[in-house]
Amino acid sequence: MIHLSTIPVEDKTAKAPSWKELLSQSRLSTQALLQEVGLENHPLASNSAESLFELRAPKPYIEKIEYGNPNDPLLLQVLPQQAEHNKVEGFSSDPLDEADYSPIKGLIHKYKNRVLLIASSTCVINCRYCFRRSFPYSEHRQSKSDWQEALNYIRKNQQVSEVILSGGDPLIHNNDYLFWLLKEIDQISHVTRIRIHSRLIVSLPQRIDAGFLQSLDQLNKAIIIVMHSNHANELGDELAAATQHLNEKNVTLLNQSVLLRSVNDKAETLAQLSEALFDIGVLPYYLFILDRIAGAAHFEVPIPEAKAIHKELQASLPGYLVPKLAIEIPGQKSKTSISHHIDEAIFP
Ligand code: SF4
């Protein structure tokens, strides 16, 4: 058990790089990544796949990759691979038809009482399976004045009770910009909750700095952070410190994962993640079936196998630590939960 109170949220020494420096160094080549993790080459790697989706991974994330292990589950999530060039039927550049649900630049209104803001166009880590890897971010890039149209849309739509900041990663912005936007949303009376989706908090937990924590005090709405971790090896002392401070600020912390071939496709691996999340004050929320984005077919775990893994997971954990197995189906008004049928042998 980590004694959280002993861990400061800010850099331990004056020389430690700031999160902004780490962010600025997160772009690297496939060869540089392999060198960092002690591999001369990798049987699955492809330099040319960088042109499909650039390689980004911050140093704190790379340091969690096991040195010299080509099968490391963190490495496989960020390594550009030859398989990304494969054209596979059923996999497309916009698997969720998001373009159909964007009435205003930077805003997606798919579900009745929730809107999603594309609050940034980049991430500190580029996950090779990302369903927005081909998203036309440049069409949704927003200055403060550009946001007025989206904010007016929320102001006019009284049924919107929750605003979700997604991206890219919203936490990539500095505190001034991020909290300007959050405060604008916070002032809309019919909005009761603000949710931030972030993988940056996992890959670069140093981002939760003193300025971020102090700025949270200026918000009145309930704040939820849904972080995105797929494997227990991604967690660590810095994240534990960050989540402790966020819990002290009454931020609700949830986690969502994507079920990924060769990364977390074992019930035991997922159970370790749920246990490790609970230890740092985060509850498992969703376990998603991969969205069928072009270039990511090699990560897919078919639904029957996913159900079997999830059933085994249920048997090994208390219910509150079992994430909901779900899939996003274009056109549906909510995520679709994948349930298990009652065993007819028990209830004939
Ligand atoms: S951090 Fe999220 S949005 Fe960014 S590449 Fe990874 S999965 Fe996609």
Model confidence pLDDT, tens digit, residues 49-106 = 999 999 999 999 999 999 999 999 999 999 999 999 999 999 998 877 766 778 888 8
pLDDT at 130 exceeding the cut of 90 = yes
CA trace torsion 232, 238, 240, 243 (10° rounding) = -110
Helix axes 175-186, 147-156, angle to 10 degrees: 20
**217-237: per-residue pLDDT in tens?**
999 999 999 999 999 999 999
Please work out whether the CB of residue 128 comes within 6 Å of at least one atom of ligand 1: no
In angstroms, the CA 156 to CA 184 distance is 14
Query: Lowest-pLDDT range, 7-11, 68-72, 212-216, 329-333?
Result: 7-11
Whether the CB of 167 sits within 6 Å of ligand 1 = yes
C-alpha 214 to ligand 1 mean position (Å): 26
The rounded mean pLDDT for the chain is 91
Alpha carbons 273 and 86: distance in angstroms, whole number: 31
Please indicate whether residue 166, judged by its CB atom, sits closer than 6 Å to ligand 1: no
Give the pTM. 0.91
Ligand 1 centroid, distance to 163 Cα (angstroms) = 19
Q: Which atom of ligand 1 is nearest to the CA of 166?
A: 3
Report how far ligand 1's centroid is from the alpha carbon of 199 (Å): 7
Q: Going by CA atoms, what residue is nearest to atom 6 of ligand 1?
A: 127
Q: Name which of 188, 195, 190, 196 is nearest 161 in CA terms.
A: 190
pLDDT value at residue 72: 98
Cβ of 56 below 6 Å from ligand 1: no
Q: Are 313 and 268 in contact (CB under 8 A)?
A: no
CB distance 169 to ligand 1 below 6 Å: yes
- Which tens digits make up the pLDDT trace of 166-209? 988 999 999 999 999 999 999 999 999 999 999 999 999 999 99
Our answer on whether the CB atom of 291 is closer than 6 Å to any ligand 1 atom is no
Alpha-carbon gap, residue 111 to 155, rounded angstroms: 16
pLDDT band at 329 (very low <50, low <70, confident <90, very high): confident
Tokens of 209: 């700095």
Render 98-143 in DSSP notation, one character per residue. Answer: GGGG-SBTTEEEEETTEEEEE--S--SS--TT-TTTT--HHHH---
| Whether the CB of 204 sits within 6 Å of ligand 1 | no
